[in-house]
C-alpha cells in the first residue's frame, strides 16, 4: 500500500488494556486551570517508569463545567485500579489542591469509583465539610486562598494504552513536521491523549535489554545510526524515525485517532520527506488490541 508516495508497512500496533479516568479541573480563569492540569499530567509519559500515562484532553468553556468556570479536561491511565488510585491521590493532592482557585470534578460517570475528595479531604485537618448535590457528594477543604472543592469520587473505566505508529522520514525535520501535522489532527478528537512530550517519541523502545535491570531499551532496528551494526529495518534513504503513542478510553477511540494521524502524515507525503509508516508490536503476544495500519487506512 502506497499513499501519496508513502509506503504503509503490512504490520500492526499492539496495545494493552489499562484503567482510565477523566478529571475536570476548573479555576478562576483558564490560565490557572491549565497550570494545574499541566502539573497534574507532568512526568506521565509511560507506565514503564512514571506510574501513569496522562495528558490534557481539551479546554472547557464555562458552560461545559460543573461550577460554571473555565476548565480543562485531563485523562489519566494506569495498569491497574490500585495504581490509578494511587496516582490520582498524589497528583491531585500535589498539583491541583495546591494550585490557586482550582476545583476538581469527575469527568466520567461509570459504576467503578476511585476516591478523589474522599481522601483529599483529610488535608482539611477536621475543618473540612461535605454536601450532597443531586446525589453527588462534594468536599469543601479550607485552604489559604479560600476553599478547595473536590467531588468525592471519580469514575474509572477499562481503557486502551499503547496504540502507536512510526513515521520514517528522510531526516529529523521531515519526521518532526509530519508528526506535528498528525498531532494537530489527533488533538481535535475526544477521549484520547498522546502522552509523550508534544505527543511525539524519539526514543521508541523494545522489550528487554542486554542489561538485566532494564525492562526496555532502545529500538535498535529503527535507529538510523545503527544501520550497519544491527538487524536494521531501515533503508539508506531513511535518516530519522519518530513514534506517536495513543491512549484512549476505548479501542474505537484509539483507532479513530490513529486513522486521523496516519492520514495527516500521508498528506505530508513523500514530497514532505516521509518515506514509510510502520508500527510497534511484540508479535501479538502481549497486547490484546491489534491495530492494523492498512486496515485503518483502507
Element (H, E) at 217: strand 216-218
Among 121, 139, 157, identify where a domain stops: 157
CA–CA gap between residue 178 and residue 298 (Å, rounded) = 20
> Helix or strand or coil: residue 290?
strand
Strand-strand pairing, 146-151 and 103-106: parallel
180 and 62 share one domain: no
226 and 176 share one domain: yes
Q: What is the CATH number of the domain that holds 269?
A: 3.30.70.520
Question: Do 130 and 153 contact (CB within 8 A), yes or no?
Answer: no
CA–CA gap between residue 104 and residue 138 (Å, rounded) = 10
Query: What pLDDT tens digit does each residue of the chain (298 aa) get?
Result: 999 999 999 999 999 999 999 999 999 999 999 999 999 999 999 998 999 999 999 999 999 999 999 999 999 999 999 999 999 999 999 999 999 999 999 999 999 999 999 999 999 999 999 999 999 999 999 999 999 999 999 999 999 999 999 999 999 999 999 999 999 999 999 999 999 999 999 999 988 899 999 988 999 999 999 998 999 999 999 999 999 999 999 999 999 999 999 999 999 999 999 999 999 998 888 899 999 999 999 9
Cell numbers 500521508: residue: 266
- What per-residue confidence (pLDDT) applies to 119? 97
What lies within 8 Å, CB to CB, of 61 at 6+ separation is 70
88 and 153 share one domain: yes
221 and 109 share one domain: no
174 and 71 share one domain: no
What lies within 8 Å, CB to CB, of 274 at 6+ separation is 5, 6, 167, 168, 169, 170, 174, 175, 178, 265, 266, 268
* Residue-number span of the structural domain to which 168 is assigned: 2-14+159-297
Model pTM greater than 0.75? yes
148 and 169 share one domain: no
Number of H helices, E strands in the chain: 6, 18
Among 124, 157, 190, identify where a domain stops: 157
167 and 293 share one domain: yes
Among 132, 157, 182, identify where a domain stops: 157
Residues in the chain: 298
Q: Which own/partner pairs from 79-86 qualify as long-range (CB within 8 Å, at least 24 positions apart)? A: 79/16, 79/18, 79/19, 79/47, 80/19, 81/19, 81/112, 81/114, 81/156, 83/19, 83/47, 83/51, 83/52, 84/19, 84/20, 84/21, 84/52, 84/114, 84/156, 85/114, 85/115, 86/51
- What per-residue confidence (pLDDT) applies to 227? 92
44 and 121 share one domain: yes
54 and 78 share one domain: yes
115 and 191 share one domain: no
Residue by residue, DSSP assigns 2-16 as EETTEEE-S-EEEEE
126 and 215 share one domain: no
CA–CA gap between residue 13 and residue 249 (Å, rounded) = 17
Number of domains in the chain: 2
CA–CA gap between residue 263 and residue 186 (Å, rounded) = 10
What lies within 8 Å, CB to CB, of 74 at 6+ separation is 22, 23, 25, 37, 40, 41, 54, 55, 56, 57, 107
Amino acid at each position: 500500500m502506497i499513499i501519496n508516495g508513502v509506503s504503509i508497512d503490512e504490520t500492526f500496533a499492539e496495545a494493552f488494556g489499562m484503567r482510565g479516568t477523566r478529571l475536570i479541573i476548573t479555576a478562576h480563569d483558564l490560565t490557572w486551570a491549565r497550570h494545574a492540569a499541566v502539573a497534574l499530567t507532568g512526568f506521565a509519559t509511560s507506565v514503564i517508569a512514571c506510574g501513569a500515562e496522562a495528558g490534557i484532553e481539551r479546554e472547557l468553556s464555562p458552560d461545559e463545567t460543573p461550577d460554571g468556570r473555565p476548565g480543562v479536561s485531563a485523562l489519566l491511565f494506569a495498569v491497574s485500579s490500585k495504581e490509578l488510585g494511587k496516582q490520582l491521590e498524589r497528583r491531585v493532592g500535589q498539583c491541583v489542591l495546591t494550585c490557586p482557585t482550582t476545583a476538581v470534578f469527575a469527568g466520567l460517570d461509570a459504576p467503578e469509583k476511585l476516591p478523589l475528595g474522599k481522601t483529599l479531604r483529610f488535608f482539611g485537618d477536621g475543618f473540612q465539610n461535605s454536601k450532597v448535590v443531586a446525589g453527588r457528594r462534594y468536599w469543601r477543604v479550607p485552604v489559604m486562598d479560600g476553599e478547595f472543592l473536590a467531588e468525592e469520587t471519580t469514575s474509572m473505566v477499562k481503557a486502551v494504552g499503547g496504540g502507536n505508529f512510526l513515521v520514517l522520514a528522510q531526516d529529523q525535520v521531515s519526521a518532526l513536521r509530519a508528526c506535528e501535522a498528525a498531532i494537530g489532527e489527533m488533538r481535535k478528537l475526544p477521549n484520547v491523549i498522546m502522552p509523550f512530550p508534544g505527543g511525539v517519541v524519539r526514543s521508541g523502545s523494545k522489550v528487554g535489554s542486554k542489561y538485566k535491570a532494564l525492562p526496555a531499551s532502545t529500538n535498535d532496528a529503527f535507529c538510523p545510526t545503527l544501520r550497519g551494526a544491527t538487524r536494521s529495518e531501515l533503508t539508506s534513504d531513511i535518516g530519522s524515525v519518530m513514534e506517536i503513542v495513543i491512549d484512549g478510553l476505548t479501542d474505537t477511540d484509539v483507532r479513530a485517532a490513529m486513522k486521523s494521524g496516519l492520514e495527516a502524515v500521508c498528506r505530508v507525503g513523500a514530497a514532505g520527506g516521509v518515506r514509510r509508516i510502520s508500527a510497534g508490536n511484540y508479535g501479538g503476544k502481549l497486547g490484546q488490541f491489534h491495530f492494523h495500519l492498512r486496515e485503518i487506512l483502507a
